[in-house]
Amino acid sequence: MRPSGTLPLLFTALLGVLAACSPAPAPAPATPAATPAAPRPTPSAPVAQVTIGGEDAAETVERWQPPAVTLVDGEAAQARRDAARAFEEDRLYRSAEDAIPIWLALLERDPKDRVAQAGLKRARQRLLEEASALLDRPLKQREALAQASEMALVLLTLAPDDAKVRELQSRVEIAQRVVAYNRAGEEDLRADRIGEDGDGAIPNFREALALDADNPRARQGLAAAESALIRRAETAARATDFATAGTWLAEAAKVRDSSITIADAFERIENIRSDTLARLRNEGLRDLATPQGLKPARQKLEDALRIALPGDPVVGQLRERIELVTHYGSFRPRQVFSDALRDGGRGPQMIVVPHGGFQMGAAENELGATDAEKPSHYVRFERGFAMSITEVTVADFRRYVQATKARPRATRRGHSIVYDERSGNFVRRSGVDWQSDYNGAEAIANLPVMHVSVRDAENYATWLSEQTGRSYRLPSEAEFEYALRAGSSGRYPWGDAGTPPARAGNFTGAEDVSPSGRHWYNAFVGYGDGYWGPAPVGSFDPNPWGLHDIAGNLSEWVADCWHASYRRAPADGVAWFNPGCRQRVIRGGNWANAPAQTRAAWRQSQDSDTTSARIGFRLVRGI
């Protein structure tokens, strides 16, 4: 709307200044939206079009046209009374019977009519007050603005140079622009053009506030825009797109100073994240309880890692469980268990050996090492395995023999190698088999079974597998040395010290004494374990991984065939086996081995039919 005179040009300049000073839209400035056209009032009184021209421009604006009043000679007094009554009834300008048109007609007839002059002055004052009150009215702004605009047109006709009138007209035009910006912003909101890119609701509401800093409608509009961005953030979060949710929430934080609202929204989004992660964890754990659940559980972990913050404990739980299942199935490292047998008994106690890798064999310059223990090479186990905590006992082996009516090698052959106390040597003696001790006497139940061949040990593993439904076998040579070292890398299973720690195991100690008073010629100086011959299983401290007697007591059969070196040895720890081979491997020191044969890398070839008081075995089981 344009009044008269030079005001339109001044207003256009003012608009440019305000637009230039308005706040920049979030997040980054873009090409500004076209300024919305101010709404035009629809005055009840007649309106004329007037062209205001200048040297460089011409502009058409609306003007108020007073209704025509016809005065008859001699009726001026009555006209004055009619105008006064209309003024009292607040009928000011809409028709020819209203106060201002009558007073204007009187002044046109007599420019010095003081009553008319005073009346118009009071009318202008009342219009100024009423229009100002309308502009300040918080409700029904559209109707109020239309009325105020109409009054301003009337006032501009009556007093175009009055400073108060011009101030009112300026307020009207600003209010019209504020309404236009607010209306445009609300239309943008309904169309979901929020304006975070610089074109939409937010810039419109900011333009309105640049004109009227306390405008409640514009402030409510910005609050609605902020809420719309927050809804976008929450929608993205529910779709597990938390990166986008964070972007929308950051845009919402730029709209206005509403830290509490943003903090509440952030908390809601984080709750959505937490609930989503808990759901993925629980679904992943349920997957892991099924036979083929590892792959879908890993997918759940991948989804969780994509949306989780660093160090999230819920994701850590799922990752840890997947790691455990990957490397240990349904077990945990160091877990102790025994399988039930079909005959009602229990199998040997087993312990889960941690997965990992180690350097197998002897170092190039290791004292006492042989070429058969080289080259040193790295072996890694991607999956853990279970190993019997002790060597298989006489009682364990008896259950197998009785159940299968088996006749192990020494029983069929009728003899085995025992220690002869009288000569101090190992000799072949008749009548000795798996039921015998190191000297041929009857063995007690909890001694490690000895006088068994490698095939006797494998047959026992086959029977145990049938009894339990699990896969038992002899350990590979790599598995044995890995478990023997238990994370160490020294010359001996306990490290590089030349004397074993107290209670480390049953070795040839210089302090050991035979029943007839013999001492070992080649032994660990200063060490004594109290046994001449094998000790009952579990008599000494376990190694760091919970295994008893793996470094001593008896040397043990492993699954590998003998190879004269580790060249081309498997790197994954499986047994190096050639079908039909007769030369097999024993590992680990025993009660009658020299110190050099108690080293961690020591290995020896034995015929597969060998039975001896120095050789036993233990088993491993897949998990």
Interior angle at CA 228, CA 226 and CA 229, nearest 5:
65
Look up tokens 């997965």; give the residue: 355
Classify 417 as helix, strand or coil. Answer: strand
How distant, in Å, are the alpha carbons of 296, 557, 598, 606 from that of 481?
35, 12, 12, 17
Spatial contact of 554 and 534, defined as CB atoms under 8 Å apart: yes
User: In the chain, what are the domain boundaries?
Assistant: 7-201, 235-330, 350-621
CB atoms within 10 A of CB 260: 8
Q: Could you tell me which residues are beta bridge partners of residue 387? A: 351, 620
Q: What is the pLDDT of residue 127?
A: 95
Structure tokens, 415 = 């003899």
Q: What is the pLDDT of residue 26?
A: 37
How distant, in Å, are the alpha carbons of 219, 334, 467, 539, 619 from that of 347?
78, 17, 9, 20, 11
Q: What is the pLDDT of residue 259?
A: 83
| d(C-alpha 410, C-alpha 609), whole Å | 9
* CB neighbour list of residue 327: distance below 8 Å, 6 or more residues apart: 355, 382, 383, 384
Q: What is the pLDDT of residue 140?
A: 73
Q: What is the pTM of this model?
A: 0.67
The secondary structure of residue 23, as a DSSP letter, is P
Spatial contact of 348 and 388, defined as CB atoms under 8 Å apart: yes
Spatial contact of 584 and 566, defined as CB atoms under 8 Å apart: no
Q: What is the pLDDT of residue 40?
A: 36
> DSSP secondary structure string, 501-559?
PTTS----BTT---TTS---SS-BTT---S-SSPPPTT-S---TTS-SSSSSSSEEEEE
Classify 598 as helix, strand or coil. Answer: helix
Query: CB burial class (10 A; 0-12, 13-18, 19+) of residue 133?
Result: exposed
Q: Report the chain (623 residues): mean pLDDT per 10 consecutive residues.
A: 31 28 34 38 42 36 84 88 95 95 93 94 95 83 88 92 92 92 95 90 96 93 96 96 95 90 96 97 95 94 95 96 92 96 94 97 95 97 96 98 97 98 96 98 98 98 97 98 97 96 97 96 96 98 98 98 96 93 97 97 98 98 93
Structure tokens, 52 = 């205001």
Residue type for position 469: G
Superfamily of domain 350-621: paralog of FGE (formylglycine-generating enzyme) (3.90.1580.10)
The secondary structure of residue 373, as a DSSP letter, is G
Interior angle at CA 615, CA 353 and CA 394, nearest 5:
80
Spatial contact of 294 and 288, defined as CB atoms under 8 Å apart: yes
Q: What is the pLDDT of residue 136?
A: 86
Interior angle at CA 408, CA 406 and CA 409, nearest 5:
150
Q: What is the pLDDT of residue 139?
A: 66
